[in-house]
A and B are shown apart, each in its own frame.
Chain A
Amino acid sequence: MTKVALRGLAGRKLRAVLTGIAIVLGVAMISGTYILTDTVQRAFNNLLVDSYAGTDAVVTGRGIDVSIDGEKPPPPPVDASLLDVVRGVDGVALATGSVLDERNTKILTAEGESANSEGFPTLAFGVDTDPAYTQFNPLNVLEGRWPASEDEVVIDAGTADKQDFAVGDTIEISTLQPKRSFELVGVAKYGDLDSLGAISFVVFTIPAAQELLGREGQFDAISVAAQEGISEEELVAAIAPALPQGAEVVSATAEAQEQADEVSEFTAIFRYFLLAFGAIALFVGAFVIFNTFSITVAQRTREFATLRTIGASRRQILVSVILESLVIGILASLVGLGLGVVIAEGIEALFGSLGVDLPTADRVFKTRTIVVALGVGIGITLLAGLFPAIRATRVPPISAVREGATLPHGRFHRFTPWVAGLVVVGSIALLARAMFTDELGTGDRLLSIAGGVLLLFLGVAMLSSKLVKPLAAVVGAPARRLGGAAGRLAGGNSVRNPGRTAATAAALMIGIALVAFIATLTNGMKASNREAIEEQIAADYVVTSTDGYTPFVAAAGDALAASPVPEVVTSVRSDAGLVNDVSTEVGGIEPDTIAEAYVFDWQEGDDSVLANLGTTGALVSSNYADDHDVSVGDTLTLRSTADRTAQITVVGTFEPPPFYPLIESVNVSTELFDSLYDRPRNRWTWANVPGESTEENRAAMEQAIAGYPDTQLETREEWIQREDADFNEFISFLYVMLTLAVFVSVFGMINTLVLSVYERTREIGMLRAIGMTRRQVRRMIRQESIITALIGAAIGLPLGIFLAALVNRALSEYDVRFAIPWGQLIVLTIVAVIIGVLAAIMPARRAAKLDPLRAIAYE
């Protein structure tokens, strides 16, 4: 029977290939995701290994335990005098102090703009480049030399290449100080890495770094090497007692591990996001496999019956069909695995085009990738092929003698509507849980939705055969009216086997439902986004950093305030902190001016409470107040990252639109903020001008902040537009990823059409023999395809909108609007028609090419 199975597969190569492609794409996506994220992770890990290669222990300031969205702020610096203390400890062989800043430095292009990519840091180093300390320095000079004076710098090779800077050039760099010119005396790379991806770096002399970055008389870290025979732990134990309260020491291994864990968390989120799309593609692929196998099994009824008459047992038939799906699964998964390498490159390029360069290393191909990709691909194929295989065993031997025998229904066929009903009920239960249970966290809610959606798709697909007839009547009307004989035949053919039409349409339905879902949801989100920001902001001008969301140096805001042009300038500070020991984003606002630029939707209090902020007052958002059971008059403890604490009393609460609050949930005056935080940064600087915004006052204000090129000034309108555009970019990215799933559906449709043409060879031959032209045959096939595609759209569109409504409800705390994008949905329908046309091209051609005589005699 093995031979029967394998030989059978070989005889139907085209069909096997088309079936396999359904799995290849999904597996490729999964394998590609793993390759990419493993490579990125390896790159970061190499980075860390290099950084700490020559170090045994690291002394830093003692930071507070705060983490926002998994990100921890850097620890505060230590006094430079500590270096001598450390050097004096027994067991210390070498120690050196360094300055490291990840937030405040920007290399500028020749045009004066920030050279690095969105959201990625430029590291600033101040290191002792004395040869005695090379073991602590992970950087290697490629060209030139280390800086020797305060107006010399070394930058990373990647940036130098991109910006066409050469050793000897003069370049500008902005820091906490306004931009300054430096001589580029060298180009370096980080350890062995060719490129850190989007992360660039600058190396100053230590005194220069201390001055530029607000660390006069301080170091960010002291790296220590132990004497021969002393372990890291022993070194740490020796140093710890010598340190003052505000400093701590950890072993280099522990330090590296902690940073590696942070990176892990980041790549994990990224990985799951990409894997989700791979899973969608595989889900659709499963439908395609199920459909294809169902059709081929039905077509081979006589073959199976014959085998049974000559003594094949049911189990042998089952094994034979399962073997076929196993072979397809294995081959497709192997191809997918290889293709994953290409996909990894593709995703990397995609991110690159969005301005996000990922760090590179040699492609990592872990065993886990192979195991998961093959396991999932083969598993899904086997599972999807299982039901048709079981159907095959139900073929009674007597079908061998009957002409045109149809596949008998499975033993449980009667129960299919019940099972489908159960599945739908199950999905509704999960979805209802997500919608109506109050105590759920957002993550739990979304997971419940994901499970419910999966079941919903399955249930709808199972029931969709019931919908085929009525839907085909509607979407097939144009074909019947305008398509002539071919159209009428097409209409009839679609309802001939509703189960099969439904299964074909189901694959497309999933893709369309998902696109409709994204379109509807994001349409609402865009509207909410716009509404939210328009509601809050009253200022004429907005200053942000170039990427739009990273905070920028406060001095830029001060520079603008110093300009005579604007009549009001108000800055909003932002940083992480602990409020009553809970990690929170803390804001700093200027009580005298903030109300001119920002519209407070007061819950308790009004604009006058701003005057009460002083150095002890706080303004909290209503969400925060609700979540933490806080109201006006309550006292909170605020602890900054510099480990300075203040007691603050709530003087008022306001209600920002939850979708996009422009200021933080807990706000104090800038006076208090600046006293608690070192090197405060602004999230916004808003400005009002007397009268209208004009070209002149705009130019004047830009001039005022020219020293801080990592900032940009925009009018209120311009800024709102940009926020919209950023949102659109993200949506486009989602669509691109979904295209993969749609792709798989299209292959599924082509597959089914080819099979159905094959099955109707004699019938098509007969039609040709009685006078149907080739063109009419093609038209008939094409119309069938379009009708099937439209059925998929007819079910998918409402499903997608329904899902968007659900997720909307689940995210109700963010107050997302619900707005159906009619225009986009119409486009989507047209796309479905186009897909129908495209999918029909090959099958139609095959059908038309049939020689009538041979076709009629076809057995």
Chain B
Amino acid sequence: MDEEILTEEALILNDIRSHLTTFEKERGNLIPILQMIQEKHAYIPREAIKLVAEYLEIPVCEVYGVATFYNQFRFHPPGKYPIKVCLGTACHVRSGDIILENFERKLEIKEGETTPDREFSIERVACVGCCALAPVAIVGETVHGHMAPSKVEGLLLRIRIEKEKQEREKLTISGNN
């Protein structure tokens, strides 16, 4: 898995390198470049910040400063199961922040980050439009209404079991062949 991630990152960086040359070496192109990276790869890898700085010949910390200034840029790849915890007014009132905290604790990552195995990532969102179900969390494509802190662990466990089951099936199929 680790190796897979590494080769994937190397591919991403190579891709970024090849696309950088389409931009003029101008300071003003910093944000368009960052947007290009984000659009193509859904996040801005650590190494890419250095690449951009070298290409534009500006300090690395300046690139980092600009990138962190805007909410549109992410620094972690999205997980396979992105978890979005709603903290809109209704969810906030029904203690959405405790749900968020529980996810953070169980997955051992902070909001905005991704687990090292890239399975889960956590994000906070403002409102998903089903306030009647508050508090709400969205895992992958599924909306989970009436969330409770105690439901977090079960939810994650279910996904993991599901995944293991799929893998086992895959093995038996390939074994039969």
Same assembly: no
